[in-house]
């Protein structure tokens, strides 16, 4: 199946700093990517839909100024957590949809820890 990568796989940062997470579709083009957040022992919660060449669509309750999303190309979307705080510590997972098959493939996730 199609492969989606994320970088970094884990990151530790100080409170107040910004962190960028990359999501790449390695062998297919994705006009739409999705960013999810997962807390321990909980399911995935959709944060936003990332559209190539246009603004992201955020889910209700997600601060767009805090979680900046950029979908610069058909294979790359980035999520920047700005002015991170300990409550932003979580597991962030991206997904991309393989258009011909219409299957969503997920990245391996990025564990963010804010001290």
Partner 1 sequence: SQELEQSPQSLIVQEGKNLTINCTSSKTLYGLYWYKQKYGEGLIFLMMLQKGGEEKSHEKITAKLDEKKQQSSLHITASQPSHAGIYLCGAESIQGAQKLVFGQGTRLTINP
Residues in touch with partner 1 (CB under 8 A): 1, 4, 6, 32, 34, 42-44, 46, 49, 91, 93, 95, 97, 102-109, 111
Closer residue to partner 1 (CB): 24 or 109? 109
In the complex, least distance from residue 45 CB atom to partner 1, rounded to whole angstroms:
8
For the four alpha carbons of 88, 65, 21 and 28, in that order, the dihedral sign comes to: positive
Question: For residues 93 and 39, is the Cβ–Cβ distance under 8 A?
Answer: no
Kindly give, in sequence order, each residue whose CB lies less than 8 Å from that of residue 112, ignoring residues fewer than 6 positions away. Answer: 10, 11, 13, 19, 21, 81, 84, 88, 89, 90, 91, 92
In the complex, least distance from residue 81 CB atom to partner 1, rounded to whole angstroms:
18
Closer residue to partner 1 (CB): 86 or 102? 102
Closer residue to partner 1 (CB): 9 or 18? 9
In the complex, least distance from residue 109 CB atom to partner 1, rounded to whole angstroms:
5
Closer residue to partner 1 (CB): 82 or 104? 104
In the complex, least distance from residue 17 CB atom to partner 1, rounded to whole angstroms:
23
6: closest CA among 115, 100, 110? 110
Query: Is the omega angle on the peptide bond into residue 8 within 30 degrees of 0, that is, cis?
Result: yes
């Amino acid at each position: 199946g199609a492969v989606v990568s994320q970088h970094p796989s884990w990151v530790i940062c100080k409170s107040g700093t910004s962190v960028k997470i990359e999501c790449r579709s390695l062998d297919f083009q994705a006009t739409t990517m999705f960013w999810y957040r997962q807390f321990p022992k909980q399911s995935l919660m959709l944060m936003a839909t990332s559209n190539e060449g246009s603004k992201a669509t955020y889910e209700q309750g997600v601060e767009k100024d805090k979680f900046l999303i950029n979908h610069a190309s058909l294979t790359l979307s980035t999520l920047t957590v700005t002015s991170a705080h300990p409550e932003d510590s979580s597991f962030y997972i991206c997904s991309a949809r393989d258009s011909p098959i219409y299957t969503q493939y997920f990245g391996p996730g990025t564990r963010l820890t804010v001290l």
